[in-house]
Amino acid sequence: MEKKEQKNLKVLPQREQLVKELTDQVKEDLKNYFKDRDYGVIAVTREDALRAFIVKTTNLCEIARLRHKLSPMATAVLGRALTGAILLTSLLKHGTNQRVLLRIEGDGPIGLVVAEANAKGEVRGFVQNPNVETFIKEENGRKKFDIAKAVGKGTLTVVKDLGFGTPYESSVPLVSGEIAQDIAYYLLKSEQIPSAVAIGVLVGEDGKVEAAGGFLAQPLPGASESAVEKLEKNVTSLPPVSTLIKEGKRPEEIAELIFKGFTTELLALKELSFRCRCSKEVAKGGIVAMPEEEIKSLIQEGGASVKCKFCGEEYHFSKEELEEILKEKQQGNN
Ligand SMILES: [Zn+2]
């Protein structure tokens, strides 16, 4: 069934780059293809040098919540970080194995927040305190999660692994703790890319993620001053991005709002998912790295479970498997 849909799709995501006008037919095709799945679109304007990456991340944020058993507050924070890491894949080469890690180290009660995304649209992440309590603030008469209070003051670090040599790492101080503004500040300070970043995660009364997404909009070199002004005006007059997604707006439709007054063209599409690269083999590596004495005590306990901090998956090792690992390790040491 999946295959048949792909055949009927006129906008194919397998091509690395395409420039396609966002006609009603293209929008219909995108809707039929992605349905309720998470995805992002990279859009540009025909008339001027503007670019935007718009993503819907509702499902992957909900998967993160379930995997890590996150409190509503932790769901909002990790959801923002996961969405932010995906937006930062704009710095990578589309469709490659390159990846970017976003690390937020604040002094707030949530502790360390980590999200890692690759250029294929796979993302994973965790927070140090998944049970963090809810902080609420009021803004324009609306009750909102006080993300900055959970995160606190500290630094935001971005590690880019471009697949050759040492990953590139750069940190900036947290300027707001709300994550989107902090990413915009990082892009300006460390990458010299002025950009507008918006991220929103709407958590329902039952703790489930109702809507999540974000966008990164930027002028490209050569953009006219009037185009930049228009972009700024469009972006600041938009409702929160989670509200747009909750209303059923799709990434390509949000692109049109960001580029109001221009002709929106599609450059690329990306399916997005929560996916971890862990395996029992990787977990075994963690045990092999332990001191012999610790492995021996695990054997005495009759077995061990290793939990992947990125996705919450548990890998069990029996007493026999641990004995085998110890034997391999001792042989390796000799
Ligand atoms: Zn994992």
- 142 and 211, same domain (yes or no): yes
Total structural domains within the chain: 2
Q: Count CB-CB contacts under 10 A for residue 168.
A: 13
Of residues 78, 111, 109, 114, the one with CA closest to residue 99: 114
- 177 and 239, same domain (yes or no): yes
**CA–centroid distance, residue 120 to ligand 1 (Å):** 17
- 75 and 117, same domain (yes or no): yes
**Helix axis angle, 292-300 to 319-333, nearest 10°:** 160
Whether 17 maps to a domain, the answer reads: yes
The sign of the torsion formed by the CA atoms of 307, 37, 21, 183 equals negative
The residue-averaged pLDDT of 125-132 equals: 98
Whether 186 maps to a domain, the answer reads: yes
Q: Count CB-CB contacts under 10 A for residue 86.
A: 29
* Domain at 86, CATH number: 3.55.30.10
Beta strand pairing call for 273-274 and 122-127: parallel
pLDDT digits (tens, 9 = 90+) for 190-244: 999 999 999 999 999 999 999 999 999 999 999 999 999 999 999 999 999 999 9
The residue-averaged pLDDT of 95-101 equals: 91
- 301 and 268, same domain (yes or no): no
pLDDT digits (tens, 9 = 90+) for 112-125: 999 999 999 999 99
Residue percentage of the chain with pLDDT more than 90: 88
Q: Are 199 and 136 in contact (CB under 8 A)?
A: no
Find tokens 């609306």 and name the residue: 142
- 302 and 238, same domain (yes or no): no
Q: CA–CA separation, 168 vs 319, rounded Å?
A: 40
**CA–centroid distance, residue 56 to ligand 1 (Å):** 22
C-alpha to C-alpha distances, 181 to 30, 302, 330, nearest whole angstrom = 30, 49, 50
Q: Is the pLDDT of residue 97 over 60?
A: yes
Helix (DSSP H) and strand (DSSP E) numbers for the chain:
12, 16
**CA–centroid distance, residue 122 to ligand 1 (Å):** 12
- 100 and 243, same domain (yes or no): yes
**CA–centroid distance, residue 314 to ligand 1 (Å):** 8
Note if the pTM is more than 0.75: yes
Q: Which domain holds residue 93?
A: 6-274
Whether 1 maps to a domain, the answer reads: no
Query: In this predicted structure, what is the pLDDT of residue 140?
Result: 83
- 261 and 311, same domain (yes or no): no
